Structure 1
Amino acid sequence: MTDAKVEPAYCNDSDALLPAIKETKERGCAPAELVADTAYGSDENVQQAAQEGIDVISPTLGKPKSKEEKLILDDFPVDRETGRVTGCPGGEAPCEIREGEKGKLTITFDATICAGCDHREYCCVGLDADHRWEYTPKQLRLAQRRVAEESDEFCEKYRQRSGIEAVNAKLKRVMKLGRLRVRGRARVRYTVNLKVLGWNILQAVRA
């Protein structure tokens, strides 16, 4: 184990990721890829971790309506370099693309084409009176992550996440982390760090 934190119950798990990355980088043991559960995979965390050269592999927090109910941004082809939608699920290109404040993009499709489209009843563009749709860079990043999560590569990498649960269980059972005999954050932090150190020594001896 390269990092352990003791936090009050009211703290948000997602806030612990970036400090952990910073500390492991300072100690020279930061990973190139970090597999984490959904709580740590906010767009902000993923973006800031990328600036540190670390790829966070985590499911996207929050899911849009299912594709059975409505076509979503995930369904539209996008130019990865420009971040612009290049067409609709029906294969038609937008007739206008405008960029607004903070990179928000507005795409407009031909109303005549939309009127005869088979996807009209559940298309986010076809349902709009102006056949126009807006999305932000953040919404696009989340959509692209959701698409990537369906790939075999993501599933293979994220499969490693389940291994940490076994480690957590052993820390509680073998190192007695589940029932500490001290109180107060400072004492608890000190005790946890010693137990994690002991666990690392135990693993080194077994290696």
Structure 2
Amino acid sequence: MKAKGKGYEAQIAESCVESNPVELITEVQVTPSSGSDSAALMPVLESLEKSGHKPEELIADTNYSGAKNASEAAGHGVNLCAPAPARGKPLPGVNYPVPADKCPAQRKEAGEWLKYREAQQPEFGEQYAPRAGIEGTNSELKRRHGFRKLRVRGGERVKLAAYFKVTACNLKRALGYWNLQRLKSIQAVEGAVAWV
């Protein structure tokens, strides 16, 4: 997949729960690179909901943040955890929020300030930390599965190739986990036999 402009990009969702033994890709949507990442959030969330994988919380990067996305996600019962863009951050020491009726910028900038302020809190950093895990998945898809340069043309073919590559990645992860569990059980049995 390419950078913004020509071509396509993939919107990827991955499970990230501590109790999960294997992190699997739960959703992939291929979109034109010229489109906004922000506009891609709700179709991904709706698809996750339809497939029975609706998360309680969706951790996303700044491109997916915004009041509209947060509100729509909340309407689906999902908490969107995404930092506000750094642009327009308030000057240190300014005592915001100013009441909207007295603020010349009105509620929009006050809301952005509150989101920025929230993102500076240590609790937000802990909540947002699992987001870094998807970068490893992006790298794995690009390096091990050739996700960056697909040898097909046209939207439908690109989608099909992306689905196959994501399926291969998930199978590899699941089989790796299964093999590890099998190896542990063999070692446990051999250890028990050695002590008899």
TM-score for both structures, normalised by structure 2? 0.70
Please list, as runs of the form range in 1=range in 2, the aligned pairs for 1:125-204 lying within 5 A after superposition.
133-134=103-104, 136-204=106-174
Paired position in structure 1 for 2:11: none
Q: Give the letter for the 1:167 counterpart.
A: T
Q: Distance in 1 between matches of 2:116 and 2:149?
A: 38
CA contact (8 A) 2:147 2:165 kept: yes
Task: Kindly state the Cα deviation for residue 179 of structure 1 after the two structures are TM-superposed.
Answer: 2.1
Secondary structure in structure 1 of the residue aligned to 2:58:
strand
Name which of 30, 34, 38 aligns with 1:14: 38
Q: Distance in 1 between matches of 2:147 and 2:120?
A: 36
Task: Kindly state the Cα deviation for residue 64 of structure 1 after the two structures are TM-superposed.
Answer: 2.3
**Alignment length (residue pairs):** 153
Secondary structure in structure 2 of the residue aligned to 1:3:
strand
Name which of 18, 21, 27 aligns with 2:51: 27
Paired position in structure 2 for 1:96: none
Q: Distance in 2 between matches of 1:178 and 1:162?
A: 19
CA contact (8 A) 2:59 2:131 kept: yes
**1:106 aligns to 2:93 (yes or no):** no
Point out where structure 2 has 5 or more consecutive residues left out of the alignment.
1-24, 178-196
Percent identity of paired positions between Structure 1 and Structure 2: 30
Query: Which structure has the greater CA radius of gyration?
Result: 1
CA contact (8 A) 2:82 2:128 kept: yes
Q: What is the aligned-residue RMSD (CA, Å)?
A: 2.0
Q: Distance in 2 between matches of 1:32 and 1:141?
A: 23
CA deviations over 1:149-178 (Å, ceiling 9, x no partner): 111111112122221111111111111212
Q: Give the letter for the 2:66 counterpart.
A: S
Q: Give the letter for the 2:63 counterpart.
A: A
Q: Distance in 1 between matches of 2:53 and 2:79?
A: 15
TM-score for both structures, normalised by structure 1? 0.67
Q: Distance in 1 between matches of 2:75 and 2:104?
A: 27
More helix by share: 2
Paired position in structure 2 for 1:46: 70
Task: Kindly state the Cα deviation for residue 141 of structure 1 after the two structures are TM-superposed.
Answer: 3.0
Q: Distance in 2 between matches of 1:145 and 1:137?
A: 12
Q: Distance in 2 between matches of 1:47 and 1:136?
A: 19
Q: Distance in 2 between matches of 1:139 and 1:54?
A: 24
